[in-house]
């Protein structure tokens, strides 16, 4: 006969090694009973009445059944439990020492009452202000972004920004600002590093001061499928003069900027967000027109087309013809204007070109052919202009240079005491009339013509000019 397996536990003796019989728990010790306590237990009705469980085996304590205390009988009222300790009672478990009782207010050196003795309406003693934490880089960027539209701002380069390109530095400081806008600021010379004009490849040094012109953050592009996106798409569709799978030509209206700038929230580049395709490709600009210049604007629909068209513009293979209304009539009916142009320092937010000399800082060669198509007496002349180069404000600066600034030009019109004829609007009369450019994929010439904008059409009607008249500029020599 085999012995039953040993199931050990607290208080059990291993069979064959002394102690009580195998498998049996030790018998509880007996001793004198406290009758007063027994009566209290009988009245309370504990599950262990009649037995002292304090020295019982632990498994018996855990396994002892629990039942609700019995209600005291009216015949035998419950007696209070005796406070006298039993002789055979086990010592109580050790507990952590209690914290010393606080002294009374009059006994404390400071005389301050305890928290629980203070009146309910008493004010808490003032705490010393915490030392301000240094601003994090994120907080610095957010604070800088909030100050974009407040005016000219001077930024100091921190040690961890040392060696960054100026455009990357601004992109890190102004993450909400489009990178194309930052590149435009650098290209126009509107940034100053330690008082000098910055170039895109310049790198900043610790402690350098960067002067930034007034800016304004552009609104986020509309969500695809939203009412605003659908409105922008419909507006762009109404401007298309030519379109295929690689490119399109828009009839940019007067007053609509091509790219964002100071205080500009609506522009062609932002509207093109509504024309993203299923792959997320957004049409790309390949050249620019001034905000107040209307007419043909080419947009590439693919990355390859954008690179090809940009190369075409750089190589001057694109032929562009502009129409303008000038003050006075040039004595030479057809001519050539060749100068050097440089940016004039008249302020960060008001760029203006001036005629410079060869070798001047920032001076670039500019070449324009012009012809007089028609005239209204000696007061006004309809000019056809063909720019060979593509400098900023080239046609406007060249027209002013020969003494015949364009009507409605707020920057270059400098004739004193000149009055605008009645019925003509004081708006810039300049139109990108026609563009001929090789197709980016087939190399076949694309020839597109834009109509007169409303204010120029009104002037042509008042002056009796025929928009269908022969344009002699098409016979101008090629560059």
Catalytic positions, written as ranges: 290
Q: What is the mean pLDDT of residues 414-422?
A: 89
> Residue 129: pLDDT above 70?
no
> Residue 79: pLDDT above 60?
no
Q: What is the pLDDT of residues 131-187, one digit of tens each?
A: 666 555 555 555 555 555 456 788 888 888 888 888 888 888 877 777 777 877 787
The predicted structure's pLDDT at residue 297 = 96
Most confident option among 37-46, 161-170, 257-266, 369-378:
369-378
Residue 297 and residue 243 in contact, taking contact as beta carbons nearer than 8 Å: no
CA angle 267, 277, 241 (to 5 degrees): 55
The predicted structure's pLDDT at residue 48 = 46
Query: Percentage of the chain surpassing pLDDT 70?
Result: 63
Neighbours of 427 (CB within 10 A): 20
The predicted structure's pLDDT at residue 436 = 95
The predicted structure's pLDDT at residue 148 = 52
> Residue 229: pLDDT above 80?
no
Q: What is the mean pLDDT of residues 70-74?
A: 53
> Residue 35: pLDDT above 90?
no
Q: What is the pLDDT of residues 287-312, one digit of tens each?
A: 999 999 999 999 999 999 999 999 99
Dist CA 166 CA 187 (whole Å)? 12
The predicted structure's pLDDT at residue 283 = 92
Dist CA 233 CA 280 (whole Å)? 15
The predicted structure's pLDDT at residue 49 = 45
The predicted structure's pLDDT at residue 333 = 93
Of residues 447 and 161, more confidently modeled: 447
Q: Token pair of 394, please? A: 């080239």
CA distances to 157, 180, 433 from 140, rounded to whole Å, are 12, 22, 47
Domains of the chain: 137-212 (3.10.290.10), 227-304 (3.30.2350.10), 316-475 (3.30.2350.10)
Dist CA 278 CA 346 (whole Å)? 45
Query: Percentage of the chain surpassing pLDDT 90?
Result: 38
When pLDDT is cut at 50, 70 and 90, the band that residue 458 belongs to is: very high
Mean pLDDT over the full length of the chain: 77
> Residue 265: pLDDT above 80?
no
Q: Token pair of 33, please? A: 């009973």
End-to-end Cα, the chain, rounded Å? 120
Least confident of 46-55, 290-299, 343-352, 386-395: 46-55
The predicted structure's pLDDT at residue 77 = 53
**Global pTM exceeds 0.85:** no
Least confident of 135-149, 192-206, 374-388, 403-417: 135-149
Dist CA 58 CA 86 (whole Å)? 20
Dist CA 80 CA 125 (whole Å)? 48
């Amino acid at each position: 006969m085999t012995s039953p397996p040993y199931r050990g536990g607290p208080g059990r003796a291993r069979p064959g090694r002394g102690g009580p019989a195998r498998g049996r728990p030790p018998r509880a010790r007996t001793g004198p009973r406290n009758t007063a306590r027994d009566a209290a237990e009988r009245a309370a009705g504990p599950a262990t009445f009649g037995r002292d469980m304090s020295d019982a085996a632990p498994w018996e304590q855990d396994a002892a059944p629990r039942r609700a205390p019995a209600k005291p009988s009216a015949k035998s009222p419950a007696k209070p439990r005796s406070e006298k300790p039993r002789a055979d009672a086990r010592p109580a478990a050790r507990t952590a020492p209690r914290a010393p009782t606080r002294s009374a207010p009059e006994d404390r050196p400071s005389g301050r009452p305890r928290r629980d003795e203070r009146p309910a309406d008493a004010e808490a003693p003032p705490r010393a202000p915490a030392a301000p934490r240094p601003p994090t880089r994120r907080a610095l960027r957010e604070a800088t972004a909030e100050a974009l539209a407040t005016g000219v701002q001077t930024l100091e380069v921190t040690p961890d920004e040392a060696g960054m390109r100026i455009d990357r530095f601004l992109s890190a400081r102004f993450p909400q600002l489009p990178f194309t806008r930052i590149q435009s600021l650098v290209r126009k010379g509107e940034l100053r590093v330690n008082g000098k004009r910055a170039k895109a490849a310049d790198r900043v040094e610790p402690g350098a001061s960067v002067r930034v012109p007034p800016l304004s953050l552009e609104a986020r592009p509309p969500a695809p499928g939203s009412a605003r996106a659908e409105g922008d798409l419909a507006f762009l569709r109404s401007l298309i003069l030519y379109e295929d799978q690689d490119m399109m030509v828009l009839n940019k209206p007067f007053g609509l900027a091509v790219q964002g700038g100071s205080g500009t929230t609506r522009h062609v580049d932002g509207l093109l967000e509504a024309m993203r395709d299923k792959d997320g490709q957004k049409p790309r600009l390949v050249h620019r027109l001034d905000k107040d210049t209307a007419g043909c604007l080419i947009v590439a629909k693919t990355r390859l087309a954008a690179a090809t068209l940009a190369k075409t513009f750089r190589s001057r293979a694109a032929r562009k013809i502009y129409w303008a209304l000038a003050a006075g009539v040039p004595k030479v009916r057809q001519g050539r204007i060749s100068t050097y142009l440089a940016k004039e320092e008249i302020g960060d937010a008001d760029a203006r070109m001036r005629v410079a000399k060869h070798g001047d800082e920032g001076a670039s060669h500019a070449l324009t052919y012009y012809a007089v198509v028609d005239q209204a007496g000696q007061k006004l002349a309809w000019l056809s202009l063909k720019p060979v180069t593509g400098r900023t404000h080239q046609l406007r600066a060249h027209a002013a240079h020969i003494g015949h600034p364009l009507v409605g030009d707020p920057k270059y019109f400098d004739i004193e005491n000149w009055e605008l004829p009645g019925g003509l609007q004081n708006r810039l009369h300049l139109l990108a009339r026609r563009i001929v450019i090789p197709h980016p994929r087939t190399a076949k010439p694309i020839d597109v013509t834009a109509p007169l904008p409303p204010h120029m059409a009104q002037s042509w009607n008042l002056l009796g000019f025929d928009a269908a008249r022969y344009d002699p500029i098409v016979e101008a020599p090629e560059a």
